[in-house]
Structure 1
Amino acid sequence: MTLPPYARLLGVTLELVDGMPEIVMPFGQHVVGRPGFLQGGAIAGLLEVAAVAALRHALAGEGAGIKQINGTVEFMRGGRDHVTRAGGEIVRLGARVATVATTAWQDDGARPIATARMNYLIERAGG
């Protein structure tokens, strides 16, 4: 699966958990905001990478292109100096538009540090 180019800048890796993609971002100087905490843009970028991974996983084999239309991020608590994980769930997968909900967490998946809802334009082959 191909991730957006800035995924490399964030240092993320992709893992399959129960058959679904999960994005893992290590803590380091490249994602520091205030001392000991993640920068908000790094968290938002992680959520977007998770949305792209979920959508590409759902569209696997179709050869469809995707372009982000918009996105909204909710920051719930500060991301500390720990590994951060994110996963996405397809809310709607239509013929031309998809909506993906993503969540980022650190120690406990039930205590997210941020969530997002993102909409994508789907460019299917021959369509």
Structure 2
Amino acid sequence: MKLPPYADTLGIALASAPGEPPLLTMAFGGAVIGRPGFLHGGAIAGLLEMAAIAALSHALGDEGDRIKPINVTIDYMRGGRERETWAQGIVTRLGTRIANVEAMAWQEDRTRPIAAARMHYMLTRVSASAA
């Protein structure tokens, strides 16, 4: 699976093996720093969006569907500190035209998320002959 170019800007990498549900990681560094010692909220949101896109792409497989975000809701639960951050998305509904995805970001303990997101995507089915 190939992540969108924005993932490279934030230093996001795929940490799961091929075929497994996508697990993303983001190292702490200059590109994602907010106030001293903390992640920028936009970097956290970007990580969550990349996790949702990765989960949806994994669920769709090689169908060639195009996705377009409809809306995004981010809940910030605690500040992200100077350490590696992880995120994973879960597709909660995959319809023919709409998909609902949740994503969670955490640092040392998956049971203590730093942020969560709910995202809704419009799906545009691309036929094999048109792709």
Q: TM-score, normalised by structure 2?
A: 0.93
Mapping 1:1-127, distance limit 5 Å: 1-16=1-16, 19-126=20-127
Provide, for residues 22-53 of structure 1, a one-character-per-residue CA deviation record: whole Å limited to 9, x for no partner. Answer: 11000001100000000000000000000000
Q: How far has the Cα of 1:2 moved from its partner?
A: 2.7
Q: Which has a greater percent of strand?
A: 1
Divergent runs of 4+, >4 A:
none
Query: Runs of 5+ in structure 1 lacking a partner?
Result: none
**1:101 aligned partner, one-letter code:** E
What is the deviation of 1:4? Answer: 2.1
Q: Which segments of 5 or more consecutive residues in structure 2 lack a partner in the other structure? A: none
Amino acid of the structure 2 residue aligned with 1:12: I
- Aligned identity (percent) is 56
What SS does the corresponding residue of 1:102 show, helix, strand or coil? strand
Q: What number of residue pairs does the alignment pair up?
A: 126
For 2:95 and 2:43, how far apart are their aligned partners in 1?
Answer: 29
CA RMSD of aligned residues (A): 1.2
